[in-house]
Amino acid sequence: MAINSIGLVELSSIASGFQACDAMLKASYVELVLARSICSGKYIVLVKGDVAAVEASVESGCRAGDLAIVDSMVIPNLHESVFPALAGINKAETLEALRRWADDDLRSVNAQVEFLLRRALLDAGRLPKPTTA
């Protein structure tokens, strides 16, 4: 099984978040990445696993969360570099290289990350090509 996808469910109720998290983990073989309240009364659950397992897990979480679902998403075939970033285990030299690159391009590090992600999504065909006027 390739762990190459993530799925997220956002809920408007912490109690419903617990129920959705339980359902998501029981629905298929996925690994819990994050489950916590994100602001007053909201809750998110993030899982990872193979595409089919993550899709089944998110679907189950949405059924369990019912009316409390704010949003959900599955990102299939995620680039392998994203997983260490989610876990917070990026290497310092990688982050320093990113900072230098951002400085060279006169961007903030956050803007550089957004630029690179957008370019990767475009290259992978996950975003529509920008139209020129």
Strand-by-strand arrangement of the 42-49 sheet: 31-39, 42-49, 5-11, 69-75
Mean pLDDT of the chain: 88
**Residue 108 DSSP SS3:** coil
Cross-strand pairs, 9:
45, 72
Rounded to two decimals, what is the model's pTM?
A: 0.65
C-alpha span between 105 and 47 (Å, rounded)? 34
| Model confidence at 76: pLDDT above 90 | yes
| 75 C-beta neighbours (distance < 10 Å), count | 17
Identify the residue with better confidence: 22 or 34. 22
| Model confidence at 92: pLDDT above 70 | no
Q: What is the pLDDT of residue 89?
A: 62
